[in-house]
Chain A
Amino acid sequence: MAPETDPRIPGLLEAARGGDPNAVRELVPLLYEELHSIARAQRARWRGDMTLDTTAVLNEAYVKIAGQSSPEWRDRAHFMAVAATAMRQVLIDHARRGRAQKRGGGMMAVTFEDIERVLASSDPAPDARAGIVLLLDDCLSRLAARSARQARVVECRFFGGMTIPDTAEALGISPATVKRDWAMAQAWLFREMRAAAEE
């Protein structure tokens, strides 16, 4: 039997939707627990060491939390945006653990070839995939220092698998802004990731 969700979550979601930044900060670790336990239960579905049906995990968490919340709280796009941040954390931790086990804890650099392989739509080595995700996380943190909004858009679009309209609704910005932010953030991140990759 799945444990109940943390009773603080619905109230915090309500507050977060009202624009309370502290609520978001408190939510992420709570959602992290939730998402992590669902991801763990789904481990059989993880592909290799780094693949996860994120959308399924997020949906399952939403169904669980929305089902147990007060009827006023039913805002899926908003939930997804907050959960995307937590999901990023789940994936990053997973990638770190995977690397720690495989490489004796050492952080292996992503090579230029790994980036090229992804670009050519082929699979990099399974543990290179984890390295790329860690590199993305690192670059995304640097992007957040320059444009917090662009970083949020990336979290929603990439880690949350959200559509442009959903992202716009959840972040309270226009779809046109999401599109522009997404285009520039991808260009910036790609440039930085490629520059950080080793020849």
Chain B
Amino acid sequence: MSGAEDPGGWERLEELFHRAAELPPDRIEAFLDAECDGDAELRGQVASLLAAATEAGGFFDSLSERVFSGGEGSDDAASALSQLYDPLLGTAVAQYEIEELLGSGGMGRVYRGYDTVLRRHVALKFLPVASRFPEARARFYVEARAAAAIRHDNICEIHEIGETEEGQPYIVMPLYEGQTLAQRLETGPLSIAEALDCGLQACAGLARAHETGVIHRDVKPGNLFLTRDGTVKVLDFGLAKLADVTLTVTGRPLGTLSYVSPEQVRGDGVDARTDVWSLGVVLYEMLSGKPPFRGANAAAVIEAILKQRARPLAEVVPELPRAVAEAVHGALSKDRKRRTRSVGELGARLRAAREG
């Protein structure tokens, strides 16, 4: 065992490591030469630790993200419990007082906050730990800026993007009253009229986003908010790109895997037709109560997305007009080239079906 590895040597190793870590990089060599005074073993130990230190923090952040993750399935118990002990609650971030945890999921935690400057309530979304990685953060800002520039009644507005003192990014949004489509679906399918109305509003919002070159990538019931006055707001633009870092397809909670497109599963490039697919899955679920591609585990869901034909909606919901079923199945073509080409076209088909 080397000198630096026995207990007395450890204290010396600790001291040198911490002192060296505070030096500018170009002075470390000289510092080690002087301090280690010919003890090559000790010098090697400190130098290898310093080298490891540059990556170690990122490694453990990433490992912890991969091993322990709330995931979206753990909403209820976890958020109820963490609400009791949440270090953010009761504190202020910039001009916002954090009042209550509204929900949590793979894409972070959402709080009700009070803007003490404008004297109004807002929703604040704090992004997960992995978003502290510089690359992911840079990517997030690019997307969030693009998303913030989209103005549409069916897209959740972004008031502001900020960062806590610890460097955790957050988004400030209006506080809407109502529920997500995911919460609504827990009570059963929607009526045909409600489902078409919700689908058409989501199409309108997504169409505007696509016009400006922004693809959502993560359209799912949890990201469609139904306000009390009946307006649908598409949430979380730009976050899905961040999710590529924090949640790969296989890492997603089962419940949200169902909305992923075949090209996303295969890891192929994603374009606006991915949102067409996901919205098709959401429409299918709104009408029938269940998403078309399901399975007991991730592998089975993926298999179904890639290979299984969706059970015809007309069989599941016999009273459904044929044109509606055809519009939904048109969005669910596994081959992108044969899929309904845009959300605009999907909307037009749904509208024609409703009126026809």
With A53-B74, A123-B251, A190-B55 known as contacts, the answer to whether A118 contacts B63 (CB < 8 A) is yes
Q: How far is the CA of A146 from the CA of B48 in the complex (A)?
A: 17
Q: Inside 8 A of A184's CB, which chain B residues have their CB? A: 14, 17-18, 49, 53
With A158-B64, A186-B60 known as contacts, the answer to whether A44 contacts B50 (CB < 8 A) is no
- Beta-carbon nearest neighbor of A147 in chain B: B10
Q: Inside 8 A of B248's CB, which chain A residues have their CB? A: 122-123
Q: B27-35, B77-85, B115-123, B324-332: which one contacts chain A?
A: B77-85
Which of the residues B58, B62, B81 comes within 8 Å of A56, measured between beta carbons?
Answer: B81
Decide if B69 touches A188 in the complex (CB within 8 Å): no
Q: Inside 8 A of A53's CB, which chain B residues have their CB? A: 68-71, 74, 78
A114 to chain B minimum Cβ distance, whole angstroms, is 11
Contact with B along A178-199 (1 / 0, CB 8 A): 0010011011111100100000
- Beta-carbon nearest neighbor of A59 in chain B: B81
A45 to chain B minimum Cβ distance, whole angstroms, is 5
Which of the residues A121, A126, A161, A188 comes within 8 Å of B49, measured between beta carbons?
Answer: A188
A186 to chain B minimum Cβ distance, whole angstroms, is 4
The reply on B250 being an interface residue by CB < 8 A is: yes
Decide if B245 touches A121 in the complex (CB within 8 Å): yes
Decide if B71 touches A51 in the complex (CB within 8 Å): yes
With A45-B74, A118-B62 known as contacts, the answer to whether A52 contacts B56 (CB < 8 A) is no
Residue of A44, A53, A121, A194 with highest tally of chain B CB at under 10 A? A121
The reply on B52 being an interface residue by CB < 8 A is: yes
Decide if A119 touches B62 in the complex (CB within 8 Å): yes
Q: A10-18, A22-30, A128-136: which one contacts chain B?
A: A128-136
How many A residues touch the partner, as a band? Answer: 35 or more
A19-60 interface (Cβ within 8 A of B)? 42, 44-45, 47-48, 50-56, 59-60
Decide if A161 touches B18 in the complex (CB within 8 Å): no
Q: How far is the CA of A115 from the CA of B55 in the complex (A)?
A: 11
B173 to chain A minimum Cβ distance, whole angstroms, is 25
Decide if A187 touches B253 in the complex (CB within 8 Å): no
The reply on A174 being an interface residue by CB < 8 A is: no
Decide if A183 touches B59 in the complex (CB within 8 Å): no
Q: How far is the CA of A186 from the CA of B17 in the complex (A)?
A: 12
Q: Inside 8 A of B67's CB, which chain A residues have their CB? A: 50-52, 91, 129, 132-133
Q: Inside 8 A of B62's CB, which chain A residues have their CB? A: 118-121
B11 to chain A minimum Cβ distance, whole angstroms, is 9
Q: Inside 8 A of B74's CB, which chain A residues have their CB? A: 42, 45, 53, 56
The reply on A76 being an interface residue by CB < 8 A is: yes
How many B residues touch the partner, as a band? Answer: 35 or more
Decide if B85 touches A59 in the complex (CB within 8 Å): yes
- Beta-carbon nearest neighbor of B6 in chain A: A146
Decide if A56 touches B71 in the complex (CB within 8 Å): no
B51-101 interface (Cβ within 8 A of A)? 51-53, 55-60, 62-71, 73-74, 77-78, 81-82, 84-85, 87
Decide if B130 touches A119 in the complex (CB within 8 Å): no
Decide if B251 touches A48 in the complex (CB within 8 Å): yes
Q: How far is the CA of A76 from the CA of B50 in the complex (A)?
A: 34
Residue of A56, A120, A158, A163 with highest tally of chain B CB at under 10 A? A56
A48 to chain B minimum Cβ distance, whole angstroms, is 7
Q: Inside 8 A of A173's CB, which chain B residues have their CB? A: none
Q: How far is the CA of A71 from the CA of B138 in the complex (A)?
A: 48
Chain A to chain B: the 9 pairs with minimum beta-carbon distance, closest first: A190-B56, A187-B53, A191-B52, A186-B56, A56-B78, A59-B81, A187-B52, A54-B68, A45-B74
B residues whose Cβ falls under 8 Å from a Cβ of A = 5, 7, 10, 14, 17-18, 21, 48-53, 55-60, 62-71, 73-74, 77-78, 81-82, 84-85, 87, 130, 133, 136, 245-246, 248, 250-251, 253, 298
A residues whose Cβ falls under 8 Å from a Cβ of B = 42, 44-45, 47-48, 50-56, 59-60, 62-63, 76, 91, 115, 118-124, 126, 129, 132-133, 136, 146-147, 158, 161, 163, 180, 183-184, 186-191, 194
